[in-house]
């Protein structure tokens, strides 16, 4: 986030909606051994500051409250009586490493830490809620091994659904607390569900766990699954580099995820430190400029590796009117275009070329979470359950500057986290690749 984005946020923007006053003693201390001092309860006034640089803080209007997040974590007083609660979980959008870890983490936290007896898993995303298909009954027993697998045991879907119909389904199953795991589209849907419930006077806490393999949801240090994804992407780059280095005129072209944000491409580049050119959506480039630099690099070095995020260079492709079921625009295939342009350029100039094109997208999406992400998913799930029990709604759990926080859905969906072309991450990439700032 750049300074202007941060300065535009006020304390009011960070306020979290609550269903009502909290009067129920938490069973957490009892379940964890009966000693109250084993639990560090969150003090509501202990806010997590939005700004972490003095440079920004001093530019704020004097006398006004500094914007700060409501902290994540256990509350001593709850809104819901845990043993009488029915909780539900739904996963939506594209696959991302860690989805099953989040589902398992929610179930274990609900059942073991709070003693919740009824947990439902709605299948196939919002579609399952709209069609009122029979939900799975989730227990610690039947989620025992799911974190070892990629994908989501609940299934997922795209496509718009009517919030009123989905709320009817939740009412029929007497759900008090809905955990929604999904990306920007899903969170917009979750907001509509929370609004519909509030408008109808229904006591429903809607808590999101933001899922974005591209790391493009704002006000989150890093999204779950992102580290697993770029680690797997780095393996593909290493393979492409080995191939390229072993053949005459070897060029490895690796297409990675990143529809609007080039974080996976940037981090995977830095993990290997053997990429020559990294192309991301945030930094436009000319094909001719890239080809000239690539040609020079191959002549000097004997080989080269190009990493391209799927959303990069879209202005070089004919605009597409196509959308997916959720209305997201279909991207043009920048990988195919670059492959064709590189092949044509090397043929025209009579330069030997051995091009290997790799698109590991589906392989990256479907791997199980690594140990770091597994820990992160567990802790996000725990924070989400604490939030739901306290009666917070229309919010997602997130990690900001190393602390768990509650982030209003409205803020999570209002903008996009992108690589700042003038920031230190992109500078690291330029330093590691040696590519020019502009082609
Ligand atoms: P990703 O794009 O990272 O895979 P996503 O959550 O953004 O994840 P989408 O397919 O865009 O994935 O949306 C998932 C679900 O959310 C779909 O059922 C879709 O209909 C619903 N949805 C998307 N946008 C909205 C919106 N503006 N309002 C209500 N529901 C929405
Ligand atoms: Mg999306």
pLDDT at site 52: 82
Q: Which residues contact 140 (CB under 8 A, 6 or more apart)?
A: 107, 108, 111, 112
Q: Is 122 in the pocket of ligand 1 (CB under 6 A)?
A: no
Which ipTM did the prediction report? 0.96
What is the number of the ligand 1 atom nearest to the C-alpha of 184?
7
324 is in an annotated binding site: no
What is the number of the ligand 1 atom nearest to the C-alpha of 94?
4
The answer to whether 49 and 66 have CB atoms below 8 angstroms apart is yes
20 is in an annotated binding site: no
Q: Which residue has the tokens 């580290």?
A: 227
pLDDT at site 35: 58
Q: Is 214 in the pocket of ligand 1 (CB under 6 A)?
A: no
Ligand 1 centroid to 7 CA: how many Å?
A: 28
Ligand 1 centroid to 181 CA: how many Å?
A: 11
**Beta strand extents in 157-249 (DSSP E only):** 177-182, 205-210
The answer to whether 324 and 93 have CB atoms below 8 angstroms apart is no
257 is in an annotated binding site: yes
Distances (CA, A) of 254 to 170, 237, 304, 355, 389: 44, 7, 11, 11, 45
What is the number of the ligand 1 atom nearest to the C-alpha of 157?
18
Ligand 1 centroid to 347 CA: how many Å?
A: 43
- Give the number of C-alpha atoms closer than 13 A to the C-alpha of residue 308, restricted to the C-beta side: 25
Count other Cβ atoms within 10 Å, centred on residue 34.
Answer: 8
Domains of the chain: 6-223+369-412 (3.40.50.450), 226-364 (3.40.50.460)
pLDDT at site 38: 60
User: Residues 214, 216, 274, 276: which is the catalytic one?
Assistant: 214
Ligand 1 centroid to 228 CA: how many Å?
A: 23
Q: Is 141 a catalytic residue?
A: no
158 is in an annotated binding site: yes
pLDDT at site 345: 97
pLDDT at site 36: 57
338 vs 287: CA distance, rounded Å = 8
pLDDT at site 40: 79
Q: Is 159 in the pocket of ligand 1 (CB under 6 A)?
A: yes
Q: Which ligand is nearest to the CA of 328?
A: 1
Query: pLDDT truncated to tens, each residue of the chain (439 aa)?
Result: 777 788 889 999 999 999 999 999 999 877 766 555 666 788 878 899 998 888 888 888 888 888 999 999 999 999 999 999 999 999 999 999 999 999 999 999 999 999 999 999 999 999 999 998 899 999 999 999 999 999 999 999 998 899 999 999 999 999 999 999 999 999 999 999 999 999 999 999 999 999 999 999 999 999 999 999 999 999 999 999 999 999 999 999 999 999 999 999 999 999 989 999 999 999 999 999 999 999 999 999 999 999 999 999 999 998 888 888 878 888 999 999 999 999 999 999 999 999 999 999 999 999 999 999 999 999 999 999 999 999 999 999 999 999 999 999 999 999 999 999 999 999 999 999 999 999 8
357 is in an annotated binding site: no
Q: Which residues contact 121 (CB under 8 A, 6 or more apart)?
A: 88, 89, 90, 103, 135, 136, 137, 138, 153, 154
Distances (CA, A) of 24 to 77, 84, 106, 389: 5, 12, 21, 10
Q: Which ligand is nearest to the CA of 99?
A: 1
Ligand 1 centroid to 39 CA: how many Å?
A: 36
This prediction's pTM: 0.96
The answer to whether 222 and 197 have CB atoms below 8 angstroms apart is no
């Amino acid at each position: 986030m750049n300074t202007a984005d941060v300065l535009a946020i006020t304390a009011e923007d960070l306020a979290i909606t609550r269903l009502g006053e909290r009067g129920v003693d938490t069973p957490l201390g009892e379940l964890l051994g009966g000693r109250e001092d084993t639990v560090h309860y969150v003090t509501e006034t202990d806010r997590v500051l939005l700004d972490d640089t003095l440079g920004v803080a001093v530019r704020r209007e004097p006398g006004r409250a500094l914007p700060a997040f409501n902290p994540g974590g256990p509350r001593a007083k709850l809104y819901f009586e845990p043993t009488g609660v029915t909780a539900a979980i739904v996963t939506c959008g594209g696959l991302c490493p860690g989805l099953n870890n989040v589902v398992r983490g929610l179930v274990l936290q609900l059942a073991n830490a709070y003693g919740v007896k009824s947990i439902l898993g709605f299948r196939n995303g919002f579609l399952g809620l709209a069609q009122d298909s029979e939900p799975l009954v989730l227990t610690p027993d039947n989620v025992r091994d799911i974190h070892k697998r990629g994908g989501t045991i609940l299934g997922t879907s795209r496509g718009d659904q009517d919030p009123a119909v989905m709320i009817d389904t939740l009412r029929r199953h007497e759900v008090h607390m809905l955990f929604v795991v999904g990306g920007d589209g899903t969170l917009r849907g979750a907001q509509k569900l929370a609004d519909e419930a509030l408008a109808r006077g229904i006591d429903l806490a809607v808590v999101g766990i933001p899922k974005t393999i591209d790391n493009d949801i704002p006000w989150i240090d890093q999204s779950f699954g992102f580290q697993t994804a770029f680690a797997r992407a780095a393996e593909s780059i290493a393979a492409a580099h080995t191939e390229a280095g072993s053949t005459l005129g070897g060029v490895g072209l690796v297409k990675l995820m990143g529809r609007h944000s080039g974080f996976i491409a940037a981090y995977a580049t830095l993990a290997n430190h053997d990429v020559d050119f990294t192309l991301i959506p945030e930094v436009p480039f000319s094909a001719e400029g890239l080809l000239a630099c690539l040609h020079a690099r191959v002549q000097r070095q004997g080989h080269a590796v190009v990493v391209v995020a799927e959303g990069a260079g879209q202005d070089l492709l004919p605009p597409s009117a196509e959308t997916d079921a959720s209305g997201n625009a279909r991207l043009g295939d920048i990988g195919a275009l670059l492959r064709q342009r590189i092949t044509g350029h090397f043929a025209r100039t009579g330069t030997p070329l051995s091009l290997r094109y790799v698109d590991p997208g589906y392989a990256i999406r479907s791997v199980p979470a690594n140990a770091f992400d597994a820990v992160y998913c567990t802790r996000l799930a725990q924070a989400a359950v604490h939030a739901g029990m306290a009666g917070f709604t229309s919010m997602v759990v997130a990690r900001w500057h190393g602390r768990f926080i509650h982030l209003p859905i409205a803020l999570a969906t209002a903008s996009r986290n992108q690589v700042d072309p003038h920031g230190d991450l992109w500078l690291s990439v330029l330093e590691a690749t040696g590519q020019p700032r502009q082609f």
